[in-house]
């Protein structure tokens, strides 16, 4: 019988899918495996269900052995996987697109509202039992109506955020490697801009691009210098898309208006400068963190493994 290793606990519904086709080992530690532990855990496995913090590369494939057929990454992003090296050894790689789109878009917009309406700051004031009273100038934030949302990467999640922004009366601009389909532009009334023009003109810049060599530190000192002094940066993609220290400096010096962050450059660490600022809304990588979404992600990963191990094509393959 095939053997599948799951590198960290997943919902039981996903484990049940795997049990139909394989002997299953779920690693029971409550932390990411070290590289040595990961290589030891997958030894002899036919399939691996991996988390976004697991480095999947040629060394891991070699450690698993020639029988390894599939690695299912429980995430839509797969920057933790050396796809050419793994697929080049005949191993299928899959991810979990689609099922987390709405949850991540909800979280992105929630963080945006938190920073623009000072919700976190207000909650901290009340929890500290600081005396307060209502008056017309008390804790004023800024509205979103009539403002421009600049989306970097108008894929599924970027489109979902744009739809939410439209409901709030925002205008949509976007940039990316290529233009979106005409019907998407028409639906969102979205303008395609160069990256430089988007940085200069958008009131809110929301990042939805994959982490690649080209997007690493896409938002750096130079990019931040182009933004409006009132601009808000939202990141629910991957932490290293932003140079976190550069962002902290820009916020501390008042060169941009705020940031709303669900991901960080050196997770789980967060730049201390960001933690000290009231104009930063932060969450610990909760983009897909609903019971429904995380269960759907794990089940999709499990179905991918089951398909490959039973000679069927994967549902959501990743290609080099």
Listed in sequence order, the DSSP H helices in 134-289 are 156-167, 182-188, 195-201, 221-226, 244-252, 272-275
Let me know if 216 is exposed, middle or buried by CB neighbors in 10 A (0-12, 13-18, 19+). Answer: middle
- The percent of residues in the chain predicted with pLDDT above 90, rounded, is 99
Q: Starting at the edge strand that comes first in sequence, how are the strands of the sheet with 47-50 ordered? A: 22-26, 2-6, 47-50, 70-73, 92-94, 317-318
pLDDT grade, residue 118 (50/70/90)?
very high
Question: Across residues 292-319, what is the average pLDDT?
Answer: 98
Using CA atoms, how far apart are residues 116 and 187, in angstroms rounded to an integer? 26
Contact between 118 and 142 under an 8 Å Cβ cutoff? The reply is no
Q: Which of 171, 208, 238, 303 is catalytic?
A: 238
Using CA atoms, how far apart are residues 162 and 105, in angstroms rounded to an integer? 9
Q: What is the pLDDT of residues 221-266, one digit of tens each?
A: 999 999 999 999 999 999 999 999 999 999 999 999 999 999 999 9
- Two tokens, residue 16: 């049940």
> Is the model's pTM score more than 0.85?
yes
- The percent of residues in the chain predicted with pLDDT above 70, rounded, is 100
Look up 285 and say whether it is catalytic: yes
pLDDT grade, residue 1 (50/70/90)?
confident
Checking 164-171 for CB contacts under 8 A at 24+ apart, the result is 164/105, 164/106, 164/109, 165/109, 165/204, 168/144, 169/144, 169/145, 170/144, 170/145, 170/146, 170/204, 171/146, 171/147
pLDDT grade, residue 320 (50/70/90)?
confident
Tokens 């932060």 belong to residue? 282
Tokens 């050196």 belong to residue? 266
CA within 13 Å, CB half, 293: 18
Using CA atoms, how far apart are residues 92 and 142, in angstroms rounded to an integer? 47
- Upstream peptide bond of 268 is cis (omega within 30 degrees of 0): yes
Look up 183 and say whether it is catalytic: no
Question: Across residues 122-133, what is the average pLDDT?
Answer: 97
Question: Across residues 115-135, what is the average pLDDT?
Answer: 97
Look up 267 and say whether it is catalytic: yes
Tokens 């309406």 belong to residue? 117
Q: Which of 118, 171, 285, 294 is catalytic?
A: 285
Q: Give the closest residue to 68 by CA, choosing from 32, 42, 98.
A: 42
Average predicted confidence (pLDDT) for the chain = 97
DSSP code per residue over 38-94 = HHHHTTT-SEEEE-TTS-BSHHHHHHH-TT--EEEESSS--TTB-HHHHHTTT-EEE
Q: What is the pLDDT of residues 260-273, one digit of tens each?
A: 999 999 999 999 99
What pLDDT does 206 receive?
98
Q: What is the pLDDT of residues 80-89, one digit of tens each?
A: 999 999 999 9
Q: Which domains does the chain have, with CATH numbers?
A: 2-97+291-318 (3.40.50.720), 101-282 (3.40.50.720)
With vertex at residue 305, the alpha carbon angle to CA 304 and CA 306, rounded to the nearest 5 degrees, is 90
Using CA atoms, how far apart are residues 118 and 38, in angstroms rounded to an integer? 42
């Amino acid at each position: 019988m095939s053997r599948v290793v799951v590198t960290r606990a997943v919902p039981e519904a996903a484990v049940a899918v795997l049990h139909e086709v394989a002997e299953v080992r779920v690693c029971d530690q409550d932390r990411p495996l070290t590289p040595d532990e990961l290589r030891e855990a997958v030894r002899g496995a036919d399939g691996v269900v991996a988390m976004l913090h697991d480095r999947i590369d040629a060394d891991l494939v070699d450690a698993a052995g020639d029988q390894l057929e599939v690695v299912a990454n429980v995430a839509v992003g797969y920057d933790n996987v050396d796809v050419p090296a793994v697929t080049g050894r005949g191993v299928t790689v899959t991810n979990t697109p689609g099922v987390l789109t709405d949850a991540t878009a909800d979280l992105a917009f929630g963080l945006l509202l938190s920073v623009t309406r000072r919700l976190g700051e207000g909650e901290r004031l009340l929890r500290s039992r600081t005396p307060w009273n209502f008056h017309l100038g008390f804790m004023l934030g800024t509205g979103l109506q009539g403002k421009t949302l600049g989306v970097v990467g108008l894929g599924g999640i970027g489109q979902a955020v744009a739809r939410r922004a439209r409901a709030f009366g925002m205008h949509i601009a976007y940039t990316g490697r290529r233009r979106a389909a005409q019907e998407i532009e028409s639906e969102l009334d979205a303008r395609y801009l160069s990256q430089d023009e988007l940085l200069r003109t958008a009131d809110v810049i929301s990042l939805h691009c994959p982490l690649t060599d080209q997007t690493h530190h896409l938002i750096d000192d130079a990019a931040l210098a182009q933004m409006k002094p009132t601009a808000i940066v939202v990141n629910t993609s991957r932490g290293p898309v932003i140079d976190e220290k550069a962002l902290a400096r820009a916020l501390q010096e008042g060169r941009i208006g705020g940031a709303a962050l669900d991901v960080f450059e050196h997770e789980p660490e967060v730049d201390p400068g960001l933690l000290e600022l009231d104009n930063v809304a932060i969450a610990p990588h909760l983009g897909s963190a609903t019971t429904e979404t995380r269960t759907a992600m794990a089940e999709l990963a499990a179905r991918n493994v089951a398909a490959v191990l039973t000679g069927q094509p994967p549902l959501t393959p990743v290609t080099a």
